[in-house]
């Protein structure tokens, strides 16, 4: 008999090597959360510089109060999918709030951001269609393509010319064509050059989906993401996003203006067969969306904080993931053992960041990945820079 776990032995051995070097870098336990930017980890107060809590709303009183009220009035959970059990009124309220924020006619809420990509891509594309996706796309995008049964065509990262060639080769294949981009790519923090890709629509017939997971609430004059920042919202047929970043909750959404958009509810298995989000989760998300709309100054603080950290790293001579400033700031490292060692020393110095290793990174890069929050103080940003100066710049 073949042991089904035998194929995972290399993973177990790799994990053992990591543990020999210190703490479990992919399973850190926060003993207590003190604020959006601080926690107690291993008995030590630690600056959180790897949470994706871009807008810093996780301790917002209005969000917490809304969650408590929903818990008391609607209970702990919905105990089923919206197709089977029906929607709560607040599910619809959140969808309407998001549609208004995004300036879209339709919005569908999912239980997680991962399922939003799974559902939207598999709902839009089928076995006769082709999905063109950036090679550096998130795993949820790849998995959505697999679930759809559509033909998958990868193009080089942020390379509109490469996409142009691949679209030209498929002109006579029939079926629909969906191009998937990301607003901010989660590992290196770079943006899709949206204008370059939009230009291709004049030459090729395709529909465009932009995953704004890391750019929603962050980019654009209205905080709607990359398409908002680029002034090209009308060119994006569909927008996908998550609640686990700027909204500080859990869930996801898909939005668009197509007149048949609502039929996706009855075509997306990840939507139809998953229990809907809990009342408390939905209520906190509604309150967070209202906060983002009411307080655009959070985006200004986030931009200033991101520039401060980015410039601090550059002054130290560190090589960052890209030349653009975004809330995702990754530092490139030499190899896996040294990356793990530096990550441990940063944690011992009171700074938590993400460790990102192959195969979850582009081009097999080893990264120490920071995510900046609007809630970080100047002093906290400077502490992170100082810690990198002691640990990484001198490595």
Of the chain, the end-to-end C-alpha distance in Å amounts to: 47
Cβ contact 95:107 at 8 Å: yes
What pLDDT, in 10s, does the model give residues 288-345?
A: 999 999 999 999 999 999 999 999 999 999 999 999 999 999 999 999 999 999 999 9
Q: Which residues contact 263 (CB under 8 A, 6 or more apart)?
A: none
| DSSP string covering 162-202 | HHHHHHHHTTTS-S-EEEEEESB-TTT-PBP-HHHHHHGGG
Domain extent listing, the chain: 6-58+296-391, 78-277
The class level of CATH for 6-58+296-391 reads alpha beta
The residue assigned the tokens 């076995």 is 127
Q: 6-58+296-391 and 78-277 share one CATH topology?
A: no
What pLDDT, in 10s, does the model give residues 24-36?
A: 999 999 999 999 9
Judge: domain 78-277, CATH 3.90.640.10.
no
The residue assigned the tokens 């967070």 is 288
CA distance linking residue 282 with residue 246, whole number of Å: 14
Cβ contact 162:114 at 8 Å: no
CA dihedral over 313, 348, 37, 28, signed as positive or negative: positive
- pLDDT value at residue 124: 98
What pLDDT, in 10s, does the model give residues 67-97?
A: 999 999 999 999 999 999 989 999 999 999 9
Nearest to 310 by CA among 226, 256, 381: 381
The DSSP bridge partners found for residue 355 are 368
Write down the pTM of the prediction: 0.95
Q: Are strands 354-356 and 366-371 parallel, antiparallel or unpaired?
A: antiparallel
CA distance linking residue 367 with residue 348, whole number of Å: 18
Which tokens is 91 given? 């599910």
Q: Tell me phi and psi for residue 260, to 5 degrees.
A: -100, 15
What pLDDT, in 10s, does the model give residues 151-173?
A: 999 999 999 999 999 999 988 78
If 0-12 CB within 10 Å is exposed, 13-18 middle and 19+ buried, where does residue 120 land? buried
Q: Is pLDDT of 200 > 90?
A: yes
């Amino acid at each position: 008999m073949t042991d089904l776990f035998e194929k995972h032995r290399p993973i177990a051995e790799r994990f053992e090597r990591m543990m020999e070097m210190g703490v479990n870098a992919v399973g850190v336990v926060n003993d207590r959360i003190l604020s959006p930017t601080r926690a107690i980890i291993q008995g030590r107060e630690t600056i959180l510089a790897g949470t994706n809590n871009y807008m810093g709303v996780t301790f917002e009183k209005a969000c917490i109060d809304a969650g408590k009220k929903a818990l008391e009035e609607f209970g702990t959970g919905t105990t089923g999918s919206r197709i089977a059990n029906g929607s709560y009124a607040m599910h619809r309220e959140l969808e309407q709030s998001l549609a208004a924020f995004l300036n879209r006619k339709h919005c569908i809420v999912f239980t997680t951001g991962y399922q939003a990509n799974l559902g939207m891509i598999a709902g839009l594309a089928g076995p006769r269609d082709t999905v063109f996706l950036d090679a550096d796309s998130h795993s949820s995008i790849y998995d959505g393509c697999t679930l759809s049964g559509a033909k998958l065509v990868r193009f080089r990262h942020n390379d509109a010319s490469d996409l142009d060639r691949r679209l030209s080769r498929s002109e006579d294949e029939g079926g629909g064509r969906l191009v998937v981009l990301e607003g901010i790519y989660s590992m290196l923090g770079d943006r899709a050059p949206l204008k370059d890709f939009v230009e291709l629509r004049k030459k090729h017939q395709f529909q465009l989906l932009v995953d704004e997971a890391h750019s929603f609430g962050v980019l654009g004059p209205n905080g709607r993401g990359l398409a908002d920042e680029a002034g090209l919202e009308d060119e994006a047929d569909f927008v996908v996003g998550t609640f686990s970043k700027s909204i500080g909750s859990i869930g996801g959404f898909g939005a668009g203006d197509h007149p048949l958009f609502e039929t996706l509810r009855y075509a997306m298995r990840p939507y139809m067969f998953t229990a809907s989000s809990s009342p408390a989760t939905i209520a906190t998300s509604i309150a967070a969306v209202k906060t983002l709309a009411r307080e655009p100054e959070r985006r200004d603080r986030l931009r200033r904080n991101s520039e401060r950290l980015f410039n601090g790293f550059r002054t130290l001579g560190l090589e960052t993931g890209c030349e653009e400033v975004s809330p995702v700031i990754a530092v490139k490292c030499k190899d896996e053992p040294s990356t793990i060692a530096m990550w441990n020393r940063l944690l011992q110095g009171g700074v938590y960041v993400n460790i990102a290793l192959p195969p979850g990174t582009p081009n097999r890069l080893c990264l120490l990945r920071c995510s900046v929050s609007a809630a970080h103080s100047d002093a906290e940003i400077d502490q992170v820079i100082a810690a990198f100066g002691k640990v990484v710049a001198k490595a």
